[in-house]
Structure 1
Amino acid sequence: MRTLCASTLISEFFVIGFAGLVAMKSDDLSMTAVWTVCGIAMLLSLLLCAVITRPGGVQLGWAFQIALIAGGFVVPVMFFLGVLFGGLWWASVHFGRKIDVAKAHWAEQAQAQTSAEPQT
């Protein structure tokens, strides 16, 4: 699960950076405010990669996805991209857990096979 979720978060890192470039064109926002918010969001996406397997990590990832969608109030295309990445986040968590279960099962089978072989 960690690999899939981290891949989604790293992709979001770049999308947030590009959204910052788009938000800079707005006359209502100062460049300092845009890059402060984008910088914090980009840093959070990297930090979430580190804590994704810890208790509450997936829930923090969901909160991050909601914040990404809320970015659509500043950059309207983020509504679409936020929902798209929310779907990718769901898929990463869902299929990542299935992969983790399958890996554990394969490791268990390999261990059982190794211990069942006669010692020579």
Structure 2
Amino acid sequence: MKRSSARAMFMMATLLSEAFVVLFAGVVANGLQLASSRTVWISTLVLVVLAIAATGLARKPAGVWAGWLVQAVLVGISFVIPLMWVLAAAFIAIWIASLYWGAKIDRERAERAEAEAALAAE
């Protein structure tokens, strides 16, 4: 039985969480009139759609790059909607942690499976 990649699961969780949080932040930014309604909603929806699309790529090699693209777009949107700087900083930190810890867990799982296979062969 093959286990799912921890890195892919962490990436998907981060990107989906980011999509929801950005959507709600868009509602707040619109209510506070931090930018024009049109700007807020176009920016918000582009980022939400991009994050959801990147979630679908999380199990593929392009998934990491798609996730970085989402983070870059969030930083870009922060120049238009200042509220997003807080989210950009938080989600970039979470994204980096997801990549690091997910890869570490996957490595440790592989080492454990290798050790168990060696023991079973004895």
Band of TM-score, shorter chain: 0.7 to 0.9
**Residues 31-82 of structure 1 deviation map (CA, whole Å, 9 limit, x = unaligned):** 5x54344233212212212212312221221121111122222331211220
Where structure 1 has 5 or more consecutive residues not aligned to the other structure, the ranges are: none
Could you say which residue in structure 2 is the equivalent of 1:23?
29
Residue 72 in 1 paired to residue 78 in 2?
yes
Of 51, 56, 65 in structure 2, the residue corresponding to residue 45 of structure 1 is 51
CA–CA separation in structure 1 for the residues paired with 2:34 and 2:76: 20
Could you say which residue in structure 2 is the equivalent of 1:14?
20
CA–CA separation in structure 2 for the residues paired with 1:14 and 1:58: 19
CA–CA separation in structure 1 for the residues paired with 2:18 and 2:34: 25
Could you say which residue in structure 2 is the equivalent of 1:111?
117
Q: For CA contacts below 8 A with separation 6 or more, give which structure has more relative contact order.
A: 2
DSSP-derived class of the 1:24 partner:
helix
Name the TM-score, length of structure 2 as normaliser.
Answer: 0.80
Structure number with greater Rg is: 1
Tell whether the 8 Å contact from 2:15 to 2:51 is kept in structure 1 after alignment: yes
Percent of matched pairs sharing the same residue: 34
DSSP-derived class of the 1:45 partner:
helix
Q: Following superposition, which runs of at least 4 residues in structure 1 exceed 4 angstroms of deviation?
A: none
CA–CA separation in structure 2 for the residues paired with 1:102 and 1:12: 27
Name the TM-score, length of structure 1 as normaliser.
Answer: 0.81
What is the number of residues matched between the two proteins? 115
Tell whether the 8 Å contact from 1:19 to 1:75 is kept in structure 2 after alignment: no
* RMSD of aligned Cα (Å): 2.0
Residue 28 of structure 1 and its aligned partner are, at CA, apart by 5.0
Where structure 2 has 5 or more consecutive residues not aligned to the other structure, the ranges are: 1-6
